[in-house]
Structure 1
Amino acid sequence: MRVVGIAGGPDAGGRTSTAIAAVLAGAAGAGAATDLIELGGAELADVVAAIDAADAVVFGSPVYRATYSALLKTLLEGTERGRWGERTQPLQGKVAATVITGASGHHFLASNDLRNVLAGFFAVQVLSPGLYFDHGGYVDRTTLTDDSAALAASHGAALVDLATAVRGSAALSALVPQV
């Protein structure tokens, strides 16, 4: 089982990366091999290849203008879905978890935007609920509170369980975007 985390923030090692790393730690505790990719310095083709090779993906972003980052939008817009003449579908048959970070609890609904794109546009099985951490979920920039770390780790373990279930189901693995 391979789980890749995609950090859509502009700063490597920021709060979003910290939260994704905690989810990946939970996935690793459940037996998965994990990798964290920071979009700020990554090549699009390399990130798409990592998604294609993974069983599950953790997509994370800070909130900007009430939604996920332009870096993450660019990745998703550059990821084919096997429709309209596209030759690849790296997200087909995959599962994902979402991690959104923000300054306050006022932006927690931004996680719905990312969930809707993944589930509706790419036909990804998205773990519910998505994670949202505001500044109160952190001790400092690189340390989650104990409660936040435990919650993130449980999401990582649940993501591995969901990926195992989807991989074991021919019907779930075969779902494709409708349009």
Structure 2
Amino acid sequence: MSVSVLVGNPRPGSRTLAAATLVAQRITGAEPDHVIDLAELGAALLGGDDPAVAEARATVQSSSLVVVGSPTFKATYSGLLKLFLDQFHGNTALEGVVALPFMLGGNPAHALAPETTLRPLLSELGAVCALPGLYLLDTAYATDPALGAYAQRWSPVVKRLTDQ
């Protein structure tokens, strides 16, 4: 199983990156194989032929599981993440990839954002979105018991979905 973390926070090395990596660790019991911090790609995301962006796309497409993380901006995912995901063409671009929609935010009122905004985008690209989206507060993600409960409930499902 190849596990990737894809994070669309415009700040490099963000809390969203740390939280999404922790989610991947908890759900799989291991470090992710790949961590893609879109902030590091910066302006390269605006062109269509950057080798680093192409490598990031190929990594996502070849992953068994991708934790797709974003901070919550205006009750939805970041524009940076959208910019990257818009580079996948067709509704089969992520076929066979299990995607876990994950968002970090400052207000519990946005807890449905992964389900109502990020999941439909990933589904449109053909990803397998069998896991419910996960939302954690940015001030308490590392100690939030919801993460442990989520991992305990959904780890066996991830294992079944990604067994090859």
Regarding TM over 0.5, the answer is: yes
Q: CA deviation at 1:74?
A: 0.7
Partner of 1:59: 68
Unaligned residue ranges in structure 1 (runs of 5+): 84-88, 139-143, 168-179
Instruction: Indicate if the aligned counterparts of 1:44 and 1:78 stay in contact, CA closer than 8 A.
Output: no
Partner of 1:96: 99
TM-score, L = length of structure 1: 0.73
Partner of 1:20: 20
Instruction: Indicate if the aligned counterparts of 1:97 and 1:159 stay in contact, CA closer than 8 A.
Output: no
Secondary structure (helix, strand or coil) at the match of 2:12 reads coil
Secondary structure (helix, strand or coil) at the match of 1:126 reads coil
Secondary structure (helix, strand or coil) at the match of 1:17 reads helix
Partner of 2:89: 80
Equivalent residue pairs, number: 152
Secondary structure (helix, strand or coil) at the match of 2:33 reads strand
Unaligned residue ranges in structure 2 (runs of 5+): 42-51
Are 2:7 and 1:3 equivalent residues in the alignment? Answer: no
Q: CA deviation at 1:125?
A: 1.4
Cα distance in 2 for partners of 1:48, 1:57 equals 12
Secondary structure (helix, strand or coil) at the match of 1:113 reads helix
Report the identity percentage.
31
Are 2:159 and 1:150 equivalent residues in the alignment? Answer: no
Cα distance 1:41–1:135, how it changes in 2: closer, same or farther (>3 A)? closer
Cα distance in 2 for partners of 1:152, 1:11 equals 26
Q: CA deviation at 1:155?
A: 6.9
